[in-house]
Structure 1
């Protein structure tokens, strides 16, 4: 395995150890040689992994002593934060925060998509919405979620801003899990199909404000369904 892959794998295994309580926040890192032995890598790989962990806020330097594990709330690497929230026991607050992030990003993305979409983008949106309808009819939750995610991916890319999809990509695993929890309820699928249809109509019409409003409505409905069907809030 290439050194870069070994470093990434070591970082993941160390973060798993932190999240599973084997290295609680405030714990001093073991000596470099011990880490290398624990993860079956060279000392050089362990050293590079520690540097990457420091860059992502998982590990922090302490003057006069070995570095220590930082509290999860201080982690700055998006990938590391995604790993932490995906393991959270109480996923409710995390799911609501994700909807809030999606609302901020995807409403603007929908407006851009309406302004810049191509005929190919439009065809892809129609195809994925059709996939959602077919999956709903077949009661296939996994297929529904795949089509739902694909629809939003087209919206993110259709605006021509390369940063949008890159920013959202690390959240993909958490979003997929959260969407499956919500979409397992049949009424939620019906709501989502209707809301996606409104977004598609606005993008087709090249109406940026209408697309923004349609996506905001979709996020409002998503939050309401999440609270009612998954979190059981009144």
Structure 2
């Protein structure tokens, strides 16, 4: 991760003010000179920060009237959306939302992978499952998470559609954080190992519908495990 710049400091500070309610939806933000004074930076730095926030639809401009705050449901920056959803009691919303996104994308990717996978893709998936088993036995959480993410990345690659992997790359840090939270539970690790083998077997069958169905079942299990072991809503 790169070193934070003064622009990043201003962006983060203004975003915190928005999330804490100091700057509400559709309210005008302070002037450039006021922000510059508050953060002890130049007005050029402030302009760059405001530009970054506008690019994510966190702020919008009314000609002749100033710059205003957009409601969070209009934001398009993944980092800001994650931060907003995680604010207060919203962490569950993030985890469930990521599972929903994974279900929508990965079920289709598994179906394509059943028809398009290469021997190299299969070798990668098999190695990831082997690494998951080894790291589970050794209690190595970081290695387990890396292998878990690697397996799913291999499925995306095996789909033969480069746009799928590119889209998921934008969620990399969010997915890692969520995966690490759930994978800290040994029972969830065992379920993941079992379902990854099932997904691989379905891909090897060449049956696209079967692969989609098994991946969908894997997402069901992922959600149920989250509810039971992490969120704690099930007995």
Q: Does 1:66 align with 2:92?
A: no
Number of residue pairs matched by the alignment: 230
Of stretches 17-26 and 153-162 in structure 1, the one that deviates more from structure 2 is 17-26
Q: Which residue does the alignment assign to 1:110?
A: 110
* Residues 82 and 171 in structure 1, CA contact (< 8 A), matched pair in contact too: no
Q: Which residue does the alignment assign to 1:182?
A: 182
Q: Which residue does the alignment assign to 1:161?
A: 161
Q: Deviations over 1:164-204 (max 9, x none)?
A: 12222222222222222222221111111110001111222
Distance 1:132 1:87 in 2: 32
Distance 1:189 1:179 in 2: 10
Q: Which residue does the alignment assign to 2:98?
A: 98
Are the structure 2 counterparts of residues 52 and 146 from structure 1 closer, same or farther at C-alpha, using a change threshold of 3 Å? Answer: same
Q: Which residue does the alignment assign to 2:81?
A: 81
* Residues 132 and 144 in structure 1, CA contact (< 8 A), matched pair in contact too: yes
Question: Map of 1:133-152 to 2, 5 A cutoff?
Answer: 133-152=133-152
* Residues 82 and 94 in structure 2, CA contact (< 8 A), matched pair in contact too: no
Are the structure 2 counterparts of residues 20 and 221 from structure 1 closer, same or farther at C-alpha, using a change threshold of 3 Å? Answer: same
Q: Which residue does the alignment assign to 2:31?
A: 31
What's the RMSD between the two structures over aligned residues? 2.4
* Structure 2 gap segments, 5+ residues each: none
Q: Which residue does the alignment assign to 1:203?
A: 203
* Residues 10 and 49 in structure 2, CA contact (< 8 A), matched pair in contact too: yes
Q: TM-score, normalised by structure 1?
A: 0.86
Q: Which residue does the alignment assign to 2:221?
A: 221
* Structure 1 gap segments, 5+ residues each: none
